[in-house]
């Protein structure tokens, strides 16, 4: 697929591989994917076992350090992360200074990149303690920055972190707490969010992780690199598909219109959003787990009528020759938007809800990159297609 051997200006032969579909740019021991078999593992542990039994912070530890923590290590890790959630007031003011309708991802990207100015030790890449401390700060503070970006967009006061609450419950409280009422997440909602966080924590060399690694390869700190990752994730081709799924389900409107929509997809009128994946040519293992989490959330919130349409779409597509032949199955985005909507998140928050847990993966990939002695600055070649050796023409003669 689009892979060609070409001559370049610098040398005899290079591989022209647009989108790097066939190029491994790094070595990694973090996440394993077998797209044909529908397998996803973090450090060798299957995603369904982690989603069933772990917490997000436990998974973050695993991604970063390579092993699951024992009870003491977990308690100490949780304590360290959870006591670093406060963000400098100036970052709060910084977020406040944007227009009220600025996208929360854009505000968060700027806030995360600005962290480097508060923690110059982050530039000491050869100091293991500095590396670890700044990773802790990033993972601890990103929910606070995400929640504040959201509160700013709805014109509400910021809610400060609460040391008594776990990582996910505290995030939900910072988002939804009001002046009048202490927010307490229903345990089923909080577990569903925890599962969504685990499922989104890492996905090997996707576009944003590649951006993190490329920026890190120039010797950059974890905040600058994560800021680049947020920028990549902001793109609709990467982080925005679950929003597109909701739009599609709304447009279909009712279960009896599903067959007509599917026919339209087969005739090239639209894509079935939330279906198909560059890597998975089988059921995305995350989609299966999210579907189950939907049921748990809807027990609390009441059923989202769009779920019925989604289930019918899946049923028809999985039996249809067009989708079967092309190996198109539901991906992680097919059901996640339904949960976010049921929890009353506005669509522009969906990508933020992806970025918060993905920070654990970005940090692990950043660490692996900056400590790999074989990692070189990422600098691909090009196939030059422009003019050569032209003489400059003075402006009056052009
Ligand atoms: N609906 C209908 N047909 C599709 C779909 C779809 N969702 N996805 C792929 N196809 C068809 C293509 O038309 C093509 O058919 P053809 O061979 O007759 O031309 C064939 O399947 C192969 O498609 P490609 O676009 O070459 O597959 P690619 O691997 O490049 O694309 C992608 C993967 C972008 C995810 C695609 O499946 C898609 O657009 N899906 C919908 C958007 C979406 O859900 N994105 C989220 C991905 S998950 C994530 O990023 C977190």
| Mean per-residue pLDDT, 232-259 | 90
Q: Is a pLDDT exceeding 90 seen at residue 198?
A: yes
Q: Is a pLDDT exceeding 90 seen at residue 143?
A: yes
Q: What is the pLDDT of residue 180?
A: 73
Confidence of residue 381 (pLDDT cuts 50, 70, 90): confident
Residue 272 Cβ contacting ligand 1 at under 6 Å: yes
Q: Is a pLDDT exceeding 60 seen at residue 1?
A: no
Mind listing the pLDDT tens digit for each residue in 299-315?
A: 898 888 888 999 999 99
Q: Which residue has the higher pLDDT, 394 or 163?
A: 394
> What percent of the chain has a predicted confidence (pLDDT) above 90?
74
Instruction: Give the distance (Å) from ligand 1 centre to CA of residue 12.
Output: 35
Q: What is the pLDDT of residue 10?
A: 60
Q: Is a pLDDT exceeding 90 seen at residue 210?
A: yes
Q: Which of 333, 372, 387, 391 is catalytic?
A: 333
Q: Any idea which residue has 């480097």 for tokens?
A: 116
If we measure between CA atoms, which residue out of 145, 143, 144 comes closest to residue 98? Answer: 145
| Mean per-residue pLDDT, 231-242 | 86
**Ligand 1 atom having least distance to the Cα of 271:** 1
Confidence of residue 183 (pLDDT cuts 50, 70, 90): confident
Q: Return the residue whose CA atom lies nearest to atom 31 of ligand 1.
A: 278
Instruction: Give the distance (Å) from ligand 1 centre to CA of residue 340.
Output: 23
Residue 328 Cβ contacting ligand 1 at under 6 Å: yes
Q: Is a pLDDT exceeding 70 seen at residue 2?
A: no
Q: What is the pLDDT of residue 344?
A: 87
What is the 3-state composition of the chain as percent helix, strand, coil, each rounded to the nearest 5?
55, 5, 35
Q: Catalytic site residue 84?
A: no
Ligand 1: which of 267, 276, 332 to mutate, most ligand atoms within 8 Å of CB? 276
Q: Catalytic site residue 333?
A: yes
| Mean per-residue pLDDT, 65-71 | 98
CA dihedral 55, 154, 335, 203 (to 10 degrees): -50
Q: Return the residue whose CA atom lies nearest to atom 24 of ligand 1.
A: 278
Residue 313 Cβ contacting ligand 1 at under 6 Å: no
Q: What is the pLDDT of residue 8?
A: 65
Mean pLDDT score of the chain, rounded to an integer?
93
Q: What is the pLDDT of residue 9?
A: 63
Residues whose CB falls within 8 Å of the CB of residue 151, separated by 6 or more in sequence, listed in order: 157, 158, 159, 174, 175
Residue 241 Cβ contacting ligand 1 at under 6 Å: yes
Q: Return the residue whose CA atom lies nearest to atom 27 of ligand 1.
A: 278
Q: What is the pLDDT of residue 242?
A: 83
Confidence of residue 362 (pLDDT cuts 50, 70, 90): very high
Here the tokens at position 161 are: 């972190």
Which element (helix H / strand E) includes 15?
strand 11-16
Q: Return the residue whose CA atom lies nearest to atom 9 of ligand 1.
A: 276
Residue 332 Cβ contacting ligand 1 at under 6 Å: yes
Q: Is a pLDDT exceeding 90 seen at residue 349?
A: yes
Q: What is the pLDDT of residue 236?
A: 78
Mind listing the pLDDT tens digit for each residue in 69-102?
A: 999 999 999 999 999 999 999 999 999 999 989 9
Q: Is a pLDDT exceeding 60 seen at residue 122?
A: yes
Residue 278 Cβ contacting ligand 1 at under 6 Å: yes
Q: Is a pLDDT exceeding 60 seen at residue 125?
A: yes
Confidence of residue 184 (pLDDT cuts 50, 70, 90): confident
**Global model pTM greater than 0.90:** yes
Q: Is a pLDDT exceeding 70 seen at residue 12?
A: no
Q: Is a pLDDT exceeding 80 seen at residue 248?
A: yes
Instruction: Give the distance (Å) from ligand 1 centre to CA of residue 271.
Output: 7
For residues 370 and 366, give the distance between their C-alpha atoms in angstroms, rounded to a whole number.
6
């Amino acid at each position: 697929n689009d892979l060609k051997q070409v001559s370049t200006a610098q040398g005899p032969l290079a591989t022209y591989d647009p989108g790097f579909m066939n190029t491994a740019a790094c070595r990694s021991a973090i996440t394993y994917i077998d797209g044909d078999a529908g397998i996803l593992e973090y450090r060798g542990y299957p995603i369904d076992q982690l989603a069933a039994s772990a917490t997000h912070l436990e998974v973050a530890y695993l991604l970063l350090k390579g092993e699951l923590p024992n009870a003491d290590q977990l308690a100490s890790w949780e304590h360290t992360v959870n006591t670093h959630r406060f963000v400098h007031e100036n970052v709060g003011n910084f977020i406040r200074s944007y227009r009220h309708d600025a996208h929360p991802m854009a505000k968060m990207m700027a806030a995360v990149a600005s962290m480097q100015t508060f923690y110059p030790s982050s530039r000491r890449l050869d100091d293991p303690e500095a590396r670890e401390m700044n990773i802790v700060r990033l993972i601890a503070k990103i929910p606070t920055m995400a929640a504040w970006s959201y509160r700013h967009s709805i014109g509400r006061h910021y809610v400060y972190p609460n040391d008594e609450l776990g990582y996910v419950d505290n995030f939900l409280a910072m988002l939804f707490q009001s002046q009048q009422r202490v927010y307490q997440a229903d345990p089923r909602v909080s577990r569903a969010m925890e599962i969504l966080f685990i499922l989104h924590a890492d996905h090997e060399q996707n576009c944003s992780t590649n951006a993190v690694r490329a920026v890190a390869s120039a010797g950059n700190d974890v905040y600058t690199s994560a800021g680049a990752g947020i920028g990549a994730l902001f793109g609709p081709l990467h982080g925005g598909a679950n929003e597109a799924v909701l739009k599609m389900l709304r447009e279909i409107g009712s279960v009896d219109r599903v067959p007509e929509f599917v026919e339209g997809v087969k005739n090239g009128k639209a894509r079935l959003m939330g279906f198909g994946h560059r890597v998975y040519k089988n059921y995305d293992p995350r989609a299966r787990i999210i579907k189950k989490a939907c049921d748990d959330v809807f027990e609390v919130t009441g059923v989202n009528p769009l779920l019925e349409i989604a289930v019918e779409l899946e049923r028809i597509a999985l039996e249809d020759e067009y989708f079967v032949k092309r190996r198109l199955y539901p991906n992680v985005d097919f059901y996640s938007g339904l949960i976010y909507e049921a929890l009353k998140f506005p669509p522009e928050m969906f990508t933020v809800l992806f970025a918060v847990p993905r920070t654990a993966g970005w940090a692990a990939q950043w660490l692996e990159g900056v400590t790999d002695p074989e990692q070189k600055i990422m600098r691909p070649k090009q196939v030059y297609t422009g003019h050569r050796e032209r003489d400059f023409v003075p402006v009056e003669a052009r």
